[in-house]
Amino acid sequence: MKMTFRWYGSGFDPIPLRYIRQIPGVTGVVGTLMDIPAGEVWPLDKIMALKKEVNDAGLELEVIESVNVHEDIKLGLPTRDRYIENYKQTLRNLKPAGVKVVCYNFMPVFDWTRSDLAKPLPDGSTVLSYDQSVMDRVTDPQKLADEIQKGSSFEMPGWEPERMTQLKTLFEKYKHVSHDDLFDNLKYFLEQIIPVCEECDIKMAIHPDDPPWDIFGLPRITTCRENLDRILGLADSEYNGLTLCSGSLGSNPENNIPELVRYFGAKKRIHFAHVRNIKIHEPGKFDEASHLSRDGSFDMYEIMKAYHDVGFDGYMRPDHGRMIWDEKGRAGYGLYDRALGIAYLNGLWEAIEKSSK
Ligand code: DNO
């Protein structure tokens, strides 16, 4: 297992790389180019400059999160071919930088969605929170998008301004897209991308939908074991794999995370692990939590044990943290609580490893 830390890049992330280097056990950064719109080619020189910056700080850049997929690909429009060609070129440009895994998602319009980006907990920290009843009252998703973008001093990934300005048109276009259409459109994409991944030795790792159910009437398919299996079958290659995000999948209690880790881990199709805890209050209502088992609904020991038992040797990162100690930063992506999460996950891992000998 290689422990990593998501970093949005200089100018986009207030956390200096040297701080990340000081978190025990972190070997690499999960990087991105925030200023390249979905669908455009990532220029080689920008990728190499990012690699140099990360390497100069004593860290590796082997995982990218995300290369976003243009909506026309998800919608299956004739214009998709141009964007797929761009995606292939981006993969070819990532190869010389030594990138091994690309995380992406296939969620229509929105990436992860929350009803509150800073809900106060009794201990004074704030967390991301989701309440379906609040979402159900949102009759105009444009308002939600505006609020989220206004409330956050940083642009959210997947909530890029250019995508949000077209919200109305996008909703219109998705009216005619069913779940099966979305599977077909993903298949079309993967069939073209995976041979390039094989050539470049870069593994694709689809991120689950968050939350893993339809929102605002938009179809979502990366939601449960059956669908994940179906997605892996769309292009049967180890290069077509998963980002197994405990918090996203686990917000539906029917998704048993240790079981999913064992099932997909045994198939060697988990390339990237996002490990975090959430507190589920009732179906469709949850708060994010510290990584500690007793603060949330998941048994983090069982999750880490499952990774250990399947011999997981891929990349792992903590996920959304609380905002603590008056830190100001990107919602879910502050330094302190994610660093605490890493220390805890590494502690579990060491104990599991030693006691299994
Ligand atoms: C949320 C993240 C997601 C993820 C994308 C992958 O915090 O895990 O935004 O990066 O869905 O494309």
The pLDDT of residue 126: 96
Phi, psi of 342 (to 5 degrees): -65, -45
The pLDDT of residue 162: 73
- The CA distance from 29 to 284, in Å, is 32
Of 6, 29, 73, 111, the residue with max ligand 1 atoms within 8 A of its CB, to mutate for a pocket test, comes to 111
167 token code pair? 């919200």
The pLDDT of residue 157: 65
Could you give the angle at which helices 257-266 and 225-234 cross, rounded to 10 degrees?
Answer: 20
Of 87, 101, 103, the residue with max ligand 1 atoms within 8 A of its CB, to mutate for a pocket test, comes to 103
Residue located nearest, by CA, to atom 1 of ligand 1: 112
Of 132, 128, 105, nearest to 215 (Cα)?
Answer: 132
Q: Which residues of the chain have pLDDT under 50?
A: none
Rg (CA), the chain: 19
Residue located nearest, by CA, to atom 3 of ligand 1: 112
DSSP of 132-147: HHHHHH-S-HHHHHHH
- The CA distance from 276 to 261, in Å, is 14
For 48-94, the pLDDT digits (tens) are 999 999 999 999 999 999 999 999 999 999 999 999 999 999 999 99
Residues annotated as catalytic are 207, 245, 274, 319-320, 333
The pLDDT of residue 259: 98
The pLDDT of residue 140: 80
The pLDDT of residue 306: 98
86 token code pair? 């761009």
Q: Specify the 3-state DSSP secondary structure of 44.
A: helix
The pLDDT of residue 138: 82
157 pocket-lining for ligand 1 (C-beta < 6 Å) = yes
Task: Find the length of the chain.
Answer: 357
Task: Determine the distance from the C-alpha atom of residue 77 to the mean position of all C-alpha atoms in its chain, rounded to a whole number.
Answer: 25
105 pocket-lining for ligand 1 (C-beta < 6 Å) = yes
Residue located nearest, by CA, to atom 12 of ligand 1: 104
Name 244's Cβ contacts closer than 8 Å, sequence gap at least 6: 208, 257, 260, 261, 264, 270, 272, 273, 274
Residue located nearest, by CA, to atom 6 of ligand 1: 104
Of 342, 292, 324, 313, nearest to 29 (Cα)?
Answer: 342
Ligand 1 atom closest to the CA of 274, numbered from 1 = 8
158 pocket-lining for ligand 1 (C-beta < 6 Å) = yes
Of 207, 221, 278, the residue with max ligand 1 atoms within 8 A of its CB, to mutate for a pocket test, comes to 207
- The CA distance from 251 to 274, in Å, is 14
